Chains A and B, each alone.
Chain A
Amino acid sequence: MREILTRYGRHNIGFLWLFVEPMLFTTGVTVLWTLSKSVHGSSLPIVAFALTGYSSVLLWRNMPARCIGAIEPNLALMYHRNVRPIDIFAARLLLEGGGATISFVTLSLFYIYIGWLEPPEDVLTVIEGWVLIGWFGCGLAMLMGALAEKSELVDRLWHPASYIMFPLSGAAFMVDALPPAAQKYILYVPMVNGVEIVREGYFGDHVRVHYDLGYLFAWCVALTLLALTQVADVNRGITPE
């Protein structure tokens, strides 16, 4: 079943786009932020800052975007009893997660190579944060994808919602730079915790990060469980056409 993946490879000739697109995005944002010397409230290298921030956004934002409306174009495949919505989601999530990860890793290596970037202080912590964001993205994506099957409102609302969440997601600031009162609230946003973990790994002792691992973890578990029940529910109501 995992082989469904291969399908997407052939969608158009350049499946390279899978990771070239996020790379272009990230590079664009990095350059913009570098040029504008954006105020991010710390003395960190802007390239690393933009890279960690924006890649994380891509990770949790693209997965839901791909899962919303994922079922419909694949309805014909539902004729086969062993193809279920969860397979379609899994295929798209793997692809999206993989694409974002490859883009993040490639860009990091490239920037390190050309000297714009120092290598991360603690790779394992970076991976930990990255995986958690990815997990969060998967849960969110499946939930959104399943709900979108029930009501097209989800599709309409997702775009504004994801844009509003972008500035709140920790991509463009360090929690430490915020006033203490705001810190408390911003950490209620799960993505912020993830981005902070990634940055802790990247910058090590150069920054003071704030996050609550347990809180983010709880979000991931809760989202995943909720998403799975919704997917199961959609599964029951599916009508192949």
Chain B
Amino acid sequence: MISVEHVHKVYPTRTGDRVVLDDISFSLGKGEKLGILGRNGAGKSTLIRLVSGAERPTSGSITRSMSVSWPLAFGGAFQNALTGLDNVRFISRIYKQDYRQNIDFVASFTELGLYLREPVRSYSQGMRARLAFAISMIIEFDCYLIDEITAVGDAKFHEKCATELFHKRRDRAMLIISHDAEYVRNHCGKFAVLEDGKLVFYPDFDQAMAAHTHNLHLNAQ
């Protein structure tokens, strides 16, 4: 169970403080899948970082009583100067796992072959995404935080990701943020829209989508 209570997040900017998240409260139980839609810059990624614990809220509290992943995005969470293998070792160690079997999994999932011995900074976007995803899968969590992980990569990669996440790990809780509405529709059971720092829940996808579309067009005017 993750419970988020009255969370505010304020970022200081040149033109004064900007409220990114304004009094957000929700909870996510075991096995629940929450999809959050929102425009670019609505604060989705911020929210997910707060939930993961990588960042602290300005006020309010977040309690985690199940193990929560770091935000799974297509980049990030790496040391770019190190090789793919070193990153696997590093992640295994900070989560106290044996890295040897993880390496095998990563090697077979990413199909990166010899590139695993090259520094991550020399990877292409797609290669990075594969590595990032594989590394995320080596540690088992009760809840996965997914931040646009499918934004890059080819169809085959998407397929593999879907098998790993939504098939093998069906029973886990997930918090998915995306602007890809279809993706959220297919994989989530609860829907919410983040706009102007407020998080609004909708009983079904269509209503959430309607609100999301409304927000998009509001912006276009």
Chain A residues close to B by CB (< 8 Å): 1, 3-4, 6-7, 10-11, 74, 76-83, 235-241
Question: B55, A238: Cβ atoms under 8 Å?
Answer: yes
The minimal Cβ–Cβ distance linking A232 to chain B, given in whole angstroms, is: 11
- The 7 A-B residue pairs with the shortest CB-CB distance, nearest first, are A81-B53, A79-B77, A3-B93, A79-B70, A240-B54, A80-B70, A76-B76
Question: B49, A240: Cβ atoms under 8 Å?
Answer: yes
Partner of B56, one of A1, A79, A236: A236
In chain B, what residue has the closest Cβ to A80? B70
Question: B54, A79: Cβ atoms under 8 Å?
Answer: yes
Using A3-B93, A7-B90 as known contacts, say yes or no to A79 and B79 having CB atoms under 8 A apart: no
Question: B86, A76: Cβ atoms under 8 Å?
Answer: no
Chain B residues close to A by CB (< 8 Å): 11, 49, 52-56, 68, 70-71, 75-83, 86, 89-91, 93-95
In chain A, what residue has the closest Cβ to B86? A10
Sample 10 A-B pairs with CB under 8 A, ordered by A number. A7-B82, A10-B82, A79-B52, A79-B54, A79-B70, A82-B94, A238-B55, A240-B49, A240-B54, A240-B55
Question: B79, A7: Cβ atoms under 8 Å?
Answer: yes
In chain B, what residue has the closest Cβ to A83? B94
Question: A241, B81: Cβ atoms under 8 Å?
Answer: no
Question: A7, B86: Cβ atoms under 8 Å?
Answer: yes
Question: A79, B71: Cβ atoms under 8 Å?
Answer: yes
Partner of A74, one of B49, B55, B79, B89: B79
Instruction: Kindly list chain B residues whose C-beta atoms are within 8 Å of the C-beta of A7.
Output: 79, 82, 86, 90
Partner of A241, one of B70, B76, B82, B95: B76
Question: B70, A81: Cβ atoms under 8 Å?
Answer: yes
Partner of A78, one of B54, B80, B83: B54
Question: B76, A11: Cβ atoms under 8 Å?
Answer: no
The minimal Cβ–Cβ distance linking A76 to chain B, given in whole angstroms, is: 5
The complex places the Cα of A3 from the Cα of B79 at a distance, in Å, of 14
Instruction: Kindly list chain B residues whose C-beta atoms are within 8 Å of the C-beta of A240.
Output: 49, 54-55, 76
The complex places the Cα of A63 from the Cα of B146 at a distance, in Å, of 38
Question: A77, B49: Cβ atoms under 8 Å?
Answer: no
Instruction: Kindly list chain B residues whose C-beta atoms are within 8 Å of the C-beta of A241.
Output: 76
Given A7-B90, A80-B70, list of 9 further CB < 8 A pairs? A3-B90, A7-B86, A10-B86, A76-B75, A79-B77, A80-B77, A80-B94, A81-B68, A239-B55
The complex places the Cα of A130 from the Cα of B197 at a distance, in Å, of 53
The minimal Cβ–Cβ distance linking A130 to chain B, given in whole angstroms, is: 30
Instruction: Kindly list chain B residues whose C-beta atoms are within 8 Å of the C-beta of A237.
Output: 56
The complex places the Cα of A4 from the Cα of B70 at a distance, in Å, of 18
Question: B80, A81: Cβ atoms under 8 Å?
Answer: no
The minimal Cβ–Cβ distance linking B133 to chain A, given in whole angstroms, is: 14
Instruction: Kindly list chain A residues whose C-beta atoms are within 8 Å of the C-beta of B94.
Output: 1, 3-4, 80, 82-83
Instruction: Kindly list chain A residues whose C-beta atoms are within 8 Å of the C-beta of B54.
Output: 78-81, 240
